[in-house]
A = this chain, B = another copy of it.
Amino acid sequence: MKIQAPYLLFLGDATDNLSIKMAKGVSDWRPQLCTGQFRLEGCSVTTDQPDMTIAQAKQAGAKTFVLGFANSGGTIDEKWIPYIVDALNNGFDIVSGLHDKLSDIPQIKQLAAKLNLQLIDIRHPQQKFNTGTGKLRSGKRLITVGTDCSVGKMYSSLSLEQAMKQRNFSVDFRATGQCGILIAGSGVAIDCVVADFIAGASESISPANDPEHWDVVEGQGSLSHPAFAGVSLGLLHGAQADAIVVCHAINRDSMRGISQRSLPSISDTIALNVASARVTNPQAQVVGITLNTSSVSEGEALDICHTITQELGLPCVDPMRHGVDSIIDKLCAEI
């Protein structure tokens, strides 16, 4: 699966910034992949891409129509079908990160087939995976892991990739979630893979490469999350990480979706992930910590990062506020 850029980001009539996370992610991190956004009456949120119609976007060179919004059920509302049909008739491939499949809608499936256009349901991987082998691959790999879900693993991964590129590393971001896949143009939604093949799919995401090449693998979930730890462990094993970056969101009361369960400490998260990663890469080590500090002031954020750096002897930064240079320094020094 390879998603053709550039994209037209369809926001529908979204009114909630969280619901357009996928569109915003690609607009923030890969503006060069976006031609514009297409919003309907009532839409009150924006990606900062220019507004345009489907026909205007076609004129401007866009190739893929992206359903850039989500709803709680992950359904494709019937009211979007005319816009999808219009996009197909204008020669666009269609991408969806919703749970409902585009290819389950007969009208859309038939039209796409007739026009020889792609329907890409990111959450329904079409590839056949093998089970994991555990065999060490050449090349180097970094993975982001979390104290919880939704703590900033994708943003941390992209920040690390960007900083490594600036230092002339040969490096690729490897996407494992729907937003990351749109940003990278390819990848595997690892939590949608059949359980038997998690580690095998993870191995395929960061294949053997030049000895000095780095893959930055987007982590998922958390080894401490009672719902998703299996995904996190299979992904970690398959990644065979040389380097691990631990991500954490400060001031979170409880684990995502699990009331009254407090987050594990950063040091426990380090210990658990290093022990697990060493099952497939005995050299695995943590090279830094990233925090989402958006809930506190600049000054407080710096204080917190400083305290953690002192306590754990590892660089600790908020990538959005401080960059990740200190982590790359550590990486260069240690691996």
Contact = CB atoms under 8 A, between A and B. Distances in A.
Interface of A: 131-134, 190-196, 198-200, 223-224, 226-235, 237-238, 257-258, 261, 272, 275-276, 279-280
Given A131-B228, A195-B198, A196-B228, 19 more contacts: A131-B257, A132-B226, A132-B227, A133-B226, A133-B258, A134-B261, A191-B195, A191-B196, A193-B194, A194-B194, A199-B228, A224-B279, A226-B279, A226-B280, A229-B279, A230-B232, A230-B233, A230-B237, A231-B234
Nearest to A227: B132
B134 A258 contact: yes
Q: DSSP majority for the A interface?
A: helix
Nearest to A221: B196
Contacts of A227: 131-134, 196, 199-200, 237
A134 B257 CA distance: 10
Contacts of A235: 230
Nearest to A268: B275
Closest 9 CB pairs of A and B: A230-B234, A134-B226, A132-B227, A191-B196, A230-B230, A198-B230, A131-B227, A195-B231, A230-B233
Nearest to A280: B226
A118 to B, nearest CB: 23
Contacts of A133: 226-227, 258
Contacts of A223: 233
Nearest to A200: B227
A17 to B, nearest CB: 24
A220 to B, nearest CB: 9
A110 to B, nearest CB: 21
Nearest to A199: B227
Nearest to A201: B195
23 contacts: A132-B227, A133-B226, A133-B227, A133-B258, A134-B258, A191-B194, A191-B195, A192-B194, A194-B194, A194-B195, A195-B195, A195-B198, A195-B234, A196-B231, A199-B227, A199-B228, A199-B230, A226-B238, A226-B280, A230-B230, A230-B231, A230-B233, A233-B233
Contacts of A238: 226
A55 to B, nearest CB: 38
Contacts of A193: 194-195
Contacts of A131: 227-228, 257
Contacts of A234: 195, 229-231
A237 B233 contact: no
A176 to B, nearest CB: 11
Contacts of A192: 194-196
Contact of A229 (B190, B237, B257): B237
